[in-house]
Chain A
Amino acid sequence: MTELRQRVAHEPDAPPEDKESESEAKVDGETASDSESRAESAPLPVSADDTPEVLNRALSNLSSRWKNWWVRGILTLAMIAFFFIIIYLGPMVLMIIVMCVQIKCFHEIITIGYNVYHSYDLPWFRTLSWYFLLCVNYFFYGETVTDYFFTLVQREEPLRILSKYHRFISFTLYLIGFCMFVLSLVKKHYRLQFYMFGWTHVTLLIVVTQSHLVIHNLFEGMIWFIVPISCVICNDIMAYMFGFFFGRTPLIKLSPKKTWEGFIGGFFATVVFGLLLSYVMSGYRCFVCPVEYNNDTNSFTVDCEPSDLFRLQEYNIPGVIQSVIGWKTVRMYPFQIHSIALSTFASLIGPFGGFFASGFKRAFKIKDFANTIPGHGGIMDRFDCQYLMATFVNVYIASFIRGPNPSKLIQQFLTLRPDQQLHIFNTLRSHLIDKGMLTSATEDE
């Protein structure tokens, strides 16, 4: 039953939209047993009892099932609105939201660990978990800043020193944390302390790396952030709908409510949705351009000349489809072809994240990750299908799309020997002159 809830959208960074779409799905087809169990789950720690008083009074007339439905619906709308506001506010706010969501997810999973192992009172341990989180975040943020803001970093003296010794400093901080852990081992609690240590590290691995990859994607252009997440959300909703209307054969034993019809139907629907969404979004510069730091104005700008990927091109339709549709060519953005790959991944591999989370919950006998969101579970419940989407997009961009980052290239260039630098420079110059981009008159050396 909890699976149903998770099946619907999840975003690591835009909680609003997920919760909304998820609750929409719930609202649409929630089975009687499901909502009743939610209402009945009041005695369990993870209950829907933290709905705000306002809502409670307003909905006091309705029966528990409809009340639940309305609570979710209202929260859904609230989340959608929140999502649009954040997108409007721009990449910086989005980054901060990502950070907050990451911290909340970490907190939720650690709390589960405490509950599972009954280890809430371990000496030092809470401090240490947050310390490790801080270390790993420092490492990743430092890498990001060094990569993308190279010129800014070179300018400011303290930043330059920090970035030069960055890995060493992060490693030292981590070691300090490790030594503190060893020193804090108390005789009776060894086992629990080691379990929590392991639990913290696995959580860090899963949650923090994903969120940083999301930020990397964001820097490539907001479209690389919005389209994958929306595809996952859409896949959940569509799989649910198809399953509801046509579902017959069960998909996997872990999640008994999933069906093959839902899975396949969701796949096709997601691909179509991805194509449409990317068509709409590719037209706007603010989504397509990479986020860059402008040295002069000391702020972030999202303004550029769109690259080839986002310019309309004519494609010839193969003969077979030509006869069906009647068009000879179609104008598409090349990005839409990439969006097919993204949607395929979202619909085929995304659900496995949901299976993983439901297996996890069953293994540790918990109903929800937390009860942050009334009507839904915690934030991790919303994000479980997105576990690997961010990683996939990042790897995809790095392998197939991104040209090398010019500032990184300059960094590498500076590490070469002077004669090699001159050699490259001269080769480049002759190459450009051949191409006609440089006239020899502009060379004044």
Chain B
Amino acid sequence: MKQLKEYTNTKKNISFHKLSYLYKLCTTNNKNILNINKHKSSISNHQNTNSINVNNTNLNENSSSNINTNINNTSKLQAFKIRLYWGIILFFFSVLILLLGHLYLSLLVLILVTLVYNEIVSIKSSENKDKKLPQLFYIRWYWFFLTILTIGIPWAIPKLQQHKFFIFKYILKYHSINMFVLFIIGYIWFILSLRKYTLKYQFSQMGIILLTSLFVVTQYLMHIANIYSGLIWFFIPVSCVVINDTFAYIVGILFGRTKLINVSPNKTVEGFVGSSIITILWGLFATYVLQNYKFFICPQNNITFIPFYTLIHTDCEYSSIFEKQVYKVPIKLAVLLRFNKIYYTKMVIHGFVLSLFAAFLAPFGGFFASGFKRALKIKDFGTIIPGHGGVTDRLDCQIFIGMFTYIYMKTFVKVKNKVKYQYDLVIDSIQKMDSKEVLCLFNQLKTIIENKKEISKVEEQKT
């Protein structure tokens, strides 16, 4: 009886050890088995190949018993299963958030930004030094919120017009000086918190805080501005980057041979080229399909807290970029292709440009992040996502595309929802001017309008 008990106990122990070993494989930082993308399911190429290699080497190092080879096979299968499982969960989660409307998507972006900031800022922080400097924690978050306020307020307040709190007008008018005062408070706080023996550490932390706030937080906040200009301006860039990552990995596995760059030894040229082609095709396809749905293309001028708002109220002006235009194919090609007209809209061209950026320049963000990790000899930015490290690992390729989309929109696409705000701004400014300047302005406006009238008269005469 005793022997039986011992036997069952040892069996339990063995299975327990197996399970705990598997659990460790799945959850430790070093083993990048799982690959979870918060936006859409994506399989990051370099991380996965790294993980398989690391997995194998670790297992070989540990021991060479049967259990380990079995675990190897089962863990690979486990890995794929868990990846697929989490990928599907995240896919549905993101679709839900997308449907909820602009505000909730923006909140998701904000949460992700907070997590990214937290991860990056804690990279170089050392535990024992932080204990001596209790204020450093508050200083970090203070600067984070200051950045968000500085960038967010001038953008958000005009969108809250329907609430008509009169304090909003003053917040907007004195925005720069408010932010400057807060900046000075933060600056003095930092200087007063300098301690004799940790000076270098504090300065380098401050540098990291500043740089992260400036580069990372600002870029991701641009995504929020893009969301409010129309969901398509968020969906297309982000999905292109995700598709680029995924297919770079898949094509790399299938055909990969020549190394791409020293910084990321697991990337291949074939993967890069293949994924670029697929990304561009996806960009064109997605734009072409999605531009027909008002849900995606309507800009929102107000911030509302109602969930599923956009599904209910989809009504907006049809901007000119979505009008159908015709391109007459040259005759020689037409004979080949058997049709002589291609219908396209300007939006498709914009989608094409965005997907070009995602295909060729977004990977540099990934190289930068992996170089950064190698420089600091860390495997991952964080451990929030089990098996795959932190949020930054998933979002590193997206670093410039938010800003690029925003600037591109401002330059090449005239988005009409800005007009109301500009009008109020002009009226406001005129009221601030004194009379002589107003007279001068009036004369200049007169000449401009007279010129326009002449031009329109000439055009009328022509037709």
Contacts and interface: CB of A to CB of B under 8 A. Distances in A.
Q: Do A and B bind each other?
A: yes
Interface of A: 164-165, 167-168, 171, 175, 178-179, 181-183, 185-187, 190-191, 193-194, 198-199, 201-202, 205, 252-254, 305, 307-308, 349, 352, 355-356, 359-360, 362-364, 388, 391-392, 395-396, 398-400, 403-404, 406, 409-410, 412-418, 420-422, 424-425, 428-429, 431-432, 435, 437-438, 445
Given A254-B191, A428-B438, 8 more contacts: A178-B364, A183-B261, A359-B191, A364-B200, A409-B441, A415-B422, A432-B439, A438-B439
24 contacts: A167-B410, A175-B400, A179-B364, A182-B367, A182-B368, A183-B261, A186-B262, A191-B376, A254-B191, A349-B184, A355-B194, A388-B187, A391-B180, A399-B176, A403-B437, A404-B433, A406-B440, A409-B429, A410-B441, A412-B425, A414-B448, A415-B418, A428-B430, A428-B442
B423 interface: yes
Contact of A193 (B200, B208, B375): B375
Given A168-B411, A185-B263, A410-B441, A194 B372 contact: yes
Given A185-B263, A424-B426, A356 B180 contact: no
Contacts of A422: 449
Contact of A168 (B180, B210, B408, B448): B408
Contacts of B28: none
A410 B376 CA distance: 51
Contacts of A164: 411
B435 to A, nearest CB: 6
A187 B425 CA distance: 52
Contacts of B176: 395, 398-399
B216 to A, nearest CB: 12
A230 to B, nearest CB: 21
Nearest to A421: B449
B253 interface: no
B432 interface: yes
Given A167-B410, A185-B263, A356-B191, A404 B442 contact: no
Contacts of A437: 435, 438-439
Nearest to B210: A202
Given A182-B367, A364-B200, A429 B442 contact: yes
B272 to A, nearest CB: 14
Contacts of A183: 261
A352 B191 contact: yes
From DSSP, what is the main secondary structure of chain A's interface residues? helix
Given A205-B214, A406-B441, A168 B427 contact: no
B179 to A, nearest CB: 8
Contacts of A400: 177
Contacts of B436: 305
B207 to A, nearest CB: 5
B407 interface: yes
Interface in B361-376: 361, 364, 367-368, 371-372, 374-376
B196 A395 contact: no
Given A205-B214, A359-B199, A199 B207 contact: yes
Contacts of B196: 253
Contact of A194 (B371, B404, B411, B418): B371
Given A185-B263, A395-B176, A432 B442 contact: yes
Nearest to A351: B191
A24 B373 CA distance: 50
B426 A171 contact: no
Contacts of B194: 254, 355, 359
A428 to B, nearest CB: 5
Contacts of B95: none
Given A253-B196, A388-B187, A437-B435, A413 B177 contact: no
